[in-house]
């Protein structure tokens, strides 16, 4: 049993190395900001922050973790001194951690297992007791900076740091951020690692493309799941920390790859298992799901995770209300 476990771990690490070659950029959900906009549009207390002054970034002394060499701090919601709102800041900057912030860094010897420094900071791979990546820690990091900004009386950076914390938590609700493929698929294809890499990449990228397409098309059943006031994953009073919340998000999402994978085979067709290179489905052929279709089942499976995207995001914001003091 022990030997089997050891072999499984070695296999997993080897697989990650090879899979990482394909995942040079890791995005998690497609369009965090737009997806988040439906989640937070009815949070009334956020609307009290409707007259925030855009302030310069003055946190170098406390924001000590490295930024990627190509990262440029952008102000997309106006110029310094202009007015904005909390909802605008959150939805504009929920995508910011994907804007080269975490790319091109040397953080850990293990980062190669997650496709580089961005993957290392945005994922939390797990098999058995092994965990690789610091997604949950990064969520806590940005959350703590939001508190510091709030203590400085700086609403703008309070919400901008919270947007980054939200990004991290949301990434961890994406099942392929917890494990690259179902273990059965890994074992079945282990002899042909190049093929396995391409197959896993095709599943990973096509789910994200499809999710982005449905949000962009404003699919009403998807938007209603995001807007729904579904129960928090854990009681607000029992939440220990944002890092814990990130780990919990991944732990409950990881096994979902076994649900998504076969549905992707059925919905996208055989090409998604193309082992010879990257393949994307043709967006122009996809409309909304009809009753009883495979697409409807696939939607349900993705919406299971998007429900978490919504409830984990709302819980983080309510927790911030108490801990940050909003
Ligand atoms: Zn990300």
Query: pLDDT tens across 63-106, in order?
Result: 999 999 999 999 999 999 999 999 999 999 999 999 999 999 99
| Dist. CA 153 → ligand 1 center (Å) | 28
Angle at 205 between CA 201 and CA 209, to 5 degrees: 165
| Dist. CA 98 → ligand 1 center (Å) | 5
- Region 285-312 average pLDDT: 97
Residues 6+ apart with CB under 8 A from 103: 25, 68, 70, 71, 116, 117, 118
From residue 5, how far is each of 40, 84, 181 by CA, in Å?
43, 53, 18
Asked if pLDDT for residue 23 goes beyond 60, the answer is no
> Per mean pLDDT, which range of 31-40, 146-155, 272-281 is the poorest?
272-281
| Dist. CA 27 → ligand 1 center (Å) | 5
Question: Which band of pLDDT confidence, cut at 50, 70 and 90, is reported for residue 58?
Answer: very high
Residues 6+ apart with CB under 8 A from 142: 161, 162, 164, 165, 168
| Dist. CA 228 → ligand 1 center (Å) | 24
Which residue's entry shows tokens 């030997």?
Answer: 3
Domain that residue 48 falls in = 2-325
> Per mean pLDDT, which range of 151-165, 194-208, 214-228 is the poorest?
194-208
> What are phi and psi for residue 258, nearest 5 degrees?
-75, -25
> Per mean pLDDT, which range of 14-28, 283-297, 310-324 is the poorest?
14-28
Tokens of 3: 């030997």
> Per mean pLDDT, which range of 8-12, 41-45, 175-179 is the poorest?
8-12
| Dist. CA 1 → ligand 1 center (Å) | 36
- Region 9-37 average pLDDT: 70
Most confident of 24-28, 196-200, 264-268: 264-268
| Dist. CA 291 → ligand 1 center (Å) | 32
How many folded domains does the chain comprise? Answer: 1
Question: Which band of pLDDT confidence, cut at 50, 70 and 90, is reported for residue 110?
Answer: confident
- Region 102-118 average pLDDT: 89
Which residue's entry shows tokens 């944002």?
Answer: 242
| Dist. CA 180 → ligand 1 center (Å) | 15
Asked if pLDDT for residue 14 goes beyond 70, the answer is no
> Per mean pLDDT, which range of 13-17, 107-111, 165-169, 170-174 is the poorest?
13-17
> How high is the pLDDT of residue 246?
98
- Region 200-224 average pLDDT: 94
Asked if pLDDT for residue 248 goes beyond 70, the answer is yes
Instruction: Tell me the pTM.
Output: 0.92
Contact 174, 248 (CB under 8 A): no
> How high is the pLDDT of residue 128?
80
Asked if pLDDT for residue 24 goes beyond 50, the answer is no
Angle at 288 between CA 286 and CA 290, to 5 degrees: 110
């Amino acid at each position: 049993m022990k030997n089997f476990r050891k072999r499984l771990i070695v296999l997993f690490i080897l697989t990650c190395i090879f899979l990482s070659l394909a995942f040079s950029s890791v995005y998690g959900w497609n369009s965090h900001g737009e997806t988040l906009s439906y989640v937070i549009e009815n949070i009334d207390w956020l609307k009290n922050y409707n007259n925030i002054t855009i302030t310069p970034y003055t946190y170098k002394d406390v924001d000590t973790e490295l930024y990627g060499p190509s990262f440029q701090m952008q102000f997309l919601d106006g110029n310094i001194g202009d007015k904005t709102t909390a909802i605008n800041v959150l939805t504009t900057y929920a995508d910011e951690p994907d804007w080269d912030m975490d790319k091109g860094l040397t953080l850990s010897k293990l980062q190669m297992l997650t496709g580089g420094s961005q993957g290392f900071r945005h994922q939390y791979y797990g098999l058995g007791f092994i965990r690789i990546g610091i997604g949950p820690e990064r969520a806590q990091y940005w959350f703590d900076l939001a508190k510091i900004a709030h203590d400085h009386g700086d609403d703008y950076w309070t919400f901008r740091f919270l947007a980054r914390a939200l990004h991290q938590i949301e990434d961890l609700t994406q099942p392929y951020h917890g494990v690259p493929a179902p273990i059965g698929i890994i074992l079945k294809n282990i002899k042909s690692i190049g093929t396995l890499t391409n197959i896993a990449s095709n599943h990973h990228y096509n789910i994200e493309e499809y999710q982005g397409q449905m949000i962009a098309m404003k699919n009403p059943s998807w938007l209603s799941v995001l807007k729904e006031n579904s129960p928090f994953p854990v009681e607000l009073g029992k939440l220990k920390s944002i890092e814990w919340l990130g780990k919990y998000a991944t732990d409950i999402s990881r096994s979902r790859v076994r649900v998504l994978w076969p549905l992707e085979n059925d919905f996208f067709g055989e090409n998604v298992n193309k082992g010879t290179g990257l393949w994307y489905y043709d967006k122009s052929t996809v409309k909304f799901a009809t009753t009883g279709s495979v697409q409807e089942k696939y939607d349900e499976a993705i919406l299971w995770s998007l429900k978490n995207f919504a409830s984990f995001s709302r819980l983080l914001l309510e927790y911030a209300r108490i801990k940050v003091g909003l």
